[in-house]
Structures are given as C-alpha cells and as structure tokens.
Structure 1
C-alpha cells in the first residue's frame, strides 16, 4: 500500500469537508479527503432529509468554486422572510428589494448540495478522496501531520483539517475541549405540499416550544407547490409528533402554521434531529485546524450553520494564501493563530444571537411577549435597523474573505 503525501489532509467528507477541499485547492494546495462514508452514499437520494439555507455571500463562494453550476437541482430563491411571534397579529417582513436586487438567500436540498460539491471536486486533479476509510490515529509534530488509516495506509500533510462534525473524533483525540448545551428541542424536517404558491417567501413563526419554519422549495415537476418544514419542538412533544400517522401529523402541522398556504400535506419521510449548542474552546492545535461543526454547532433558528462553516473555510483559505505568498509555513502556529483570531468574534456573535433568540422566543411570559411585539414593530418601522438585520442574514456584513466578496465591488 502506497503512502500519500499532500499539502493538506481533511478528515470528513460531508458538506464542510468537500467545501474545504475545494477552497484549499483554489489557493493551490494538494488535498486529500478521508471519510468513513462511501461517496455514493453521501450523494444518494434520501440519505439526508435536511435542507440548507445558503446566504448571498455563501452563494458567491460556491459559484467561485464551481459548485453552483454543478448542482443537479436548481436552488429555490428566498425573496422575502416573514417573521411572526406566536399568535400575535404583528409580523416582521424582510423584503429583499429593501437591501438590493439579489434574493435574501436560497434553499437547497442537502443531497443536491453534496452532489454538486462532489461533482466539482471530481474535476480538480489536486483533490484526492479516500473513502470508505477511517483514521486510526492522527500523529502530529512540528513539521507535519500524518493520518494512519485502519488499513495501514499513511497520509502525510503540512496541515490537518478536522471537518468531521459535531462529535468530531479528531477534535476529541486532540484533547480540544468543548462547551456543550442541550436545548431539549428536536427539529422535525420534511417536505410539505400546499395549495397556494409560497411566492418565494420563507415563513418563521416563533412559538414557546421552538421556531416553526416553512422554507420555499421549487415546485414539483407536476406543478405542485412545495416547501420544507423545519419544526422545532420540545423533545418529548417531537417524539409524539414523529409517532403520528401522516394524516394526524398534517392536522397538527396545519394547526401550528395556519391557513396562509392553504391545505398542508407532508410528503415522503419525516426526519428528527436533536438540537444543541457546541463550541470548541480552541479551533487550532499543532498542525490541526477545526472548521464547521467540528468547531461550533448552533441552533438552526436563523439557518446560519452551514454559512458560518463556509466563512471558516474561506477565512482559512485566505490565511493560508497570505502565508504562502510571503513564504511562511502555513501549518505553523502563528499562521493558525491568525485564523483563530479572525473567526472567533464572528462565531461568538452568531452563537450569542441564535442562543439569545431561541431563549427569548421560548419564554411565554406575558411581559416578555409585550417586549417581543414591541421589538418586532420597531424593526419593521426603522429602515436602517431592518436593513442591518437583512444584511446579516445575507452574510454581507463586515469584512468578508475573498471567496465571499462581491466581484462587482472589486
């Protein structure tokens, strides 16, 4: 068995792992991705019941990496977002035209996104995917990181990237500690058909048990209107909902959402995912860097989890490219420290925002409800404040890594 030498090795071949491979390839690195799951399973229909929200800045990155044109299904644009608090008659409307001509974002099936990522990776000679394969151990010293696989193969690189999810064995083996919090909430997700068109509006209803989102999908081939449901409930209640027949579930879903889209019906499989927060105390170690869910996992209340991970990856690519330009060892501690400093503020800000929103809207106190209604009304009326929220959702606030910058402004 032949050993492999490369510039960077990535543990994990999911959304973040393949995105990282493409981004590092784009700045001139040779990359090897190691994953337990066969490629065919990752891209198989029905393997992952979730959808992913893609912000404008993330779309720019996926376009530059060749993923957008490789998607087997067209993403569905989100033109507007309508936020409602429980049974309150007040709602907050984010209209994309208030911030510019571009959509607020896009909704994409995870299977389609993975297929696009793998298609793009298959065209890059600098990317090697080793799967199915598992890392027995990762040895790291001052010069290199070497992954020893279960079959005895060795992969050696200047830098190892952990992109192996919230439970990251790579992070655990490195002794990097995490802060972890369970929300005692479970998200139920499935495809829903409805009588009326969604008109590219994403609906978010904040309820005491958790947010209830209806995210627009493209119409089915026969013209049936579709959306993706992401229904967060207390775990006990979510388990009960998962045990209902489709007809019983439809009635509960209709009761929770209302009649604005007409009659709702679930189609296909329902999926359930426990919700929690994790945050690594450090994103780096000797010859090792964490990206995506291996570094942080947030509540899906704002649909920003994958976008946050893409910002990690784009920032890492910038940091490595800048280091190589001036002849530095891109896997060295000073270079990785720069990446960690860049990412920590953004990640902590997003953690505070998503955790705070979930706690604020999960409180059923009458006084807190009054404050929430007043806050929604204030944001709706004050244009600059509303546009700031919109730009945050679109991922266009602050200093962006080069892969995410608007080409029209450079």
Structure 2
C-alpha cells in the first residue's frame, strides 16, 4: 500500500479496556452491530486546513451542536469492510483499496471533503491493529465501519466546511441468524431505492433511510430482505436493501443487473464477477425484469439466485414474495453454484484458498 499521504496519528489507549474474558465471551456468538471494540479512529477536516488531528482513541460519544449540518442536511457517507483472523493466526483485510476508492467516490457525489486513499487505509489499519484481540476466529470477523459526516454548525443549504472521519468496529458472526441456508425476499412495487441522477451509487445513509419503509413491509410479509425495482418503470430488478443480486441460469451462466448510477458498486459483487469468470463461468451484466425472473423460475431457466455484500457475503435466495403471490427459486434446495462461489470467496478471505488476485492484505 502506498504511503504518500500518511498522517501522524496520536494514540491514546483506553484507560479501562474490556477484560480479556469479556472479549472472549463477546466473540462466541456475536450479534451483528451490537458489541463494539474499545477504540475508534478520528480525523478532522476544516476548509483551508485540510485533514488534521488524527487520533486513535477510546471509543466515546460525539458532542454535536444542535445545528450540526449532518443533522439537517444528511451529508454523511460510510463503508463496510471486514478484518479476518486466518487459521494461521494472521490478520487480513479483503480488498481494502477498493473500499478506499469507493469512499472517495461517495464523498465526491455528496460534495464532501476528499479523504486520500492512503489515509483511509492507514486509519483502518490503525484500528485493526490496536483492537486485534476482538477479531474472532472461525467463521466470525471484525466488521469495520469507516464513515464521515458534516460537522460544521450552521443552517443553510450548502456543503459544510468541516467534517469528521471516523472508524469503529464490532465483532460479527453470520448476518442472517438461525442457520438459514436460504432467505426469503419481498419485491417492492411501491417504493424505490434510487433514481437516475440520484445517489444510488454512493454509499450514503440517506439511501438506507429511504429503504427502511420497504424493509418494514418485507418483514411484515415474513421476508428477510427487500428487492427494489427501477424508479422509472418499476420493472427492472436493481438490488436488495443492502446487497447486490445474481441469477444462476440453467446453462450455468450468471446474470446480474448492470451498474448505471442507481446501484451500489459492491466490492463483493465485483469480486464474484471476477472469481466466476476465472472459474470459467459466463457472467452477463444486463437488465433483468421482475416478470422475466418469475417466468424463468417457473420454467427452470433460473436455477439459483443469491445476494451478496460485505455483511451477508454470499447468501442464497430461496423464495420470492410479492403483492401478487410468491414463487420458489429452482427446486428450492439447489445451491451448487451459490455454495461454490461462497466457498471460494470466503476461502480467499480467510487464507484457506490461494489468492491469485492479490485481494488479501495482511496487517503486521
């Protein structure tokens, strides 16, 4: 990793860190996003000065003025990534440079300060290093949440002149609990996640806030996740509330909706495409209508469907519900391609499969 833009971090260790036995208990079966590590990383940006006051410090609440810009105008972006503990005890990150690039792209779309990729990587690495005892072994991981928000206190519709970048972390297990081999999804025909020219390709909190009502609808219909259709025609499949989606056809090929500004360019998505092609599979990025999905599931043309993302990794979709009824993917049990890709991807992430792509970055 390049180090051209590195800042000097002040390290202030937690004065009362979590006891080792309590950490160990937290790693047994961690609930996603509920238990956090002892430290965080913060860096401030002010107009005319740039990035400064880089710190590794005890995790604590922020003190925000009631007029803080993020509370009124939602200038906020974030990333999701993981640190893994391999069977050999080595700690690694998966394609962190791609997270750094996407973070910059999100910042540009939201008219926020540009954080150099080197600084992003330095900050993430610093937190992983100081809280490495919190990284589970086995199938667990340390979920990392880098984020940035407008910190200037003012009322007025313009880009802020002050920002705070922060990284926090939490140990996690499976995203979908209960040992599910496949999830059930709800296709929303009323709500949309993003429109052309909007912020769909940026990883900003507003996209997720807009999706929550549809996710609530999905839950009310006994579903784990929501599938969004395009905003213009309410016809074309785009993505899930927090994941991209792939379809496995009867000839073994993969189909996934194309990136056109309304879909988040998932790093897991890009990895699946590259990995599948390396394995000799044909992968097509093309529009796919909901009606075609329903018909192809009935005819057997679609054998499997899976969602993918940092949190859920690769998760099979077994049943689809919508306002007009429901249908099952394939025979309801076939997961061969989904499981193969999941095994290969997680194997690379955890050091069990040779990394021929240069995706894995070890933390010293």
Q: Output the TM-score relative to the length of structure 2.
A: 0.27
Higher share in helix? 1
